[in-house]
Amino acid sequence: MDGDRRELTPGHSARDLHFLLESAKLHSMSQSAIAVRRAATTAQLTSVSRRLTAERGLSGFTIEELCDEVGISRRTFFNYFPSKDEAVLGVDESEQIERLAASFLALGSRGWAAVLDDLVVLAGEMTEQLGITLADHTEFIAALEREPRLLARALGMSREREQQLGELVAAREGVATTDPRVRAVVSLFSSLMRTSVESLLEQGTTDLRTTMTTSLAALRDVLATPNHRKDQQ
């Protein structure tokens, strides 16, 4: 063996393995810290841009002013959002939605009643994972009311998500997207989501899943009540 090469002994091997494990752990911690900081900066950019839009309108402030409040450079801003419009609308949630949708599909068909139950759980989990708060929703509504152009974009996004939801439900239940039951589920879920958020804002609470579950139970009570018409008495 050459003089400048050493044979790897068991002792060296164990130390090397320990070093590799510690390095991997530190790398994971570093990546996690970076992800947390990025999420915090993204949320701050969205929050401040919504507040400024509600106060002045989109044309009433510059990207530089937004960046000054958040404490980043204009160049850094474009690592997060391509424009002020996108900052107000918020982060792309497609990755989280795809992951939760996969969980919904994995549950399999268990009847139409279970579809609504599972969608309520899905909505609750998504809200928790994305860290959406009542303040976020209030800021968003205020910005949309000030900028009708953004409201149109938001409505378009909402319709697109309803279409995606219909496709998801149809895929799990093995029916066409035009099935009346698919449309009924999407309509009921959208209504539950809207009324539950309104209820949260009125009550000042944050538990979307519990509020939606309560609203769903009330809806089922109404639908289960016999229709006693006077001409049948």
* Domain locations along the chain: 14-87, 92-224
Q: What does the pLDDT average to over 56-66?
A: 94
Q: Does pTM top 0.85 for this prediction?
A: no
Residue 12, CA distances (Å) to 3, 18, 22, 23, 26 in order? 18, 10, 15, 16, 21
For 46, phi then psi, to 5°, come to -65, -45
CA atoms within 13 A on the CB side of 228: 2
Asked if 105 and 171 count as a contact pair (C-beta separation under 8 A), the reply is yes
Q: What does the pLDDT average to over 109-120?
A: 93
Dist CA 163 CA 161 (whole Å): 5
For residue 160, what is the enclosing H or E element?
helix 148-173
Q: Which two tokens stand for residue 115?
A: 């579809």
Who wins on pLDDT, 231 or 149?
149
CATH 3.10.450.50 fits 14-87, yes or no: no
CATH 1.10.357.10 fits 92-224, yes or no: yes
Q: Is the dihedral of CA 93, 94, 95, 100 positive or negative?
A: positive
Write the DSSP symbol of residue 4.
Answer: T
With bands split at pLDDT 50, 70 and 90, how would you rate the model's confidence at 17? low
Q: What is the mean pLDDT of the chain?
A: 83
